[in-house]
Amino acid sequence: MNDKEKIYYERGTEELKRKSNRAHQLVRKLNNMDVDEDLQKIEIINELFGSVGESPSIEHNFHCDLGYNIHVGHQFYAGYNCTILDMAEVRIGDHCMIGPNVGIYTAGHSIEPKGRNKSGYAIPIRIENDVWIGGSCVILAGVTIGDNSIVAAGSVVTKDVPANTIVAGNPAKILRNI
């Protein structure tokens, strides 16, 4: 499948409900763990996500749609209040840091009002190695963020970010090369 290919889904199906409930139960367990239960947190992350590298760390109040579409590399870190809407695949490389209050959204909806609440589509997101995403950023469907890049706090990323760049703003624009 092409990384930018739309995946269509119907809301309210029994299968989607079952998959979503599974993720929500695991997320609730993760968010209710004591702060010093690192090994148990990693076990839940491994059960929730599609694949996980070494030493993942996720702060309190994490949320996702399905979980199994999320793939993270080694030393992945997500700050408080991270939300990943993973109706399509989200691939995050090694040594990536995500600040607090970040939203990563593969999901989209029709612009036509009729039936908008009954179905949707999703486009995969890819975040490559050694990326730092500042607090309160939004990463939208179909975006790829290249190796070593920085997304400044508060940015809304609507288009691909080349490797070795710093982007900022709404919509995010290249500030400079690293």
The β-bridge relationship of strands 144-145 and 150-151 is unpaired
Distance from C-alpha of 159 to C-alpha of 171, rounded to nearest angstrom? 8
| Cα radius of gyration (the chain) | 16
Amino acid residing at 76: F
Write phi, then psi, for 125 (nearest 5 degrees): -120, 140
Give me the pLDDT at residue 3, please. 62
Domains of the chain from N-terminus onward: 7-177 (2.160.10.10)
Residue carrying the six token digits 């030493």:
55
**68 backbone φψ class: left, alpha, beta (φ>0; ψ -120 to 50):** alpha
CB contact set of 145 (below 8 Å; sequence gap of 6+):
126, 127, 128, 131, 133, 139, 151, 157, 160, 161
Query: Would you call 113 exposed, middle or buried from its count of C-beta atoms within 10 A (0-12, 13-18, 19+)?
Result: exposed
Enzyme catalytic residues: 109
Mean pLDDT of the chain: 95
pLDDT in tens, 19-52: 999 999 999 999 999 989 999 999 999 999 999 9
**Alpha carbon distance 129, 76 (integer Å):** 10
Model confidence, pTM: 0.94
pLDDT in tens, 127-165: 999 999 999 999 999 999 999 999 999 999 999 999 999
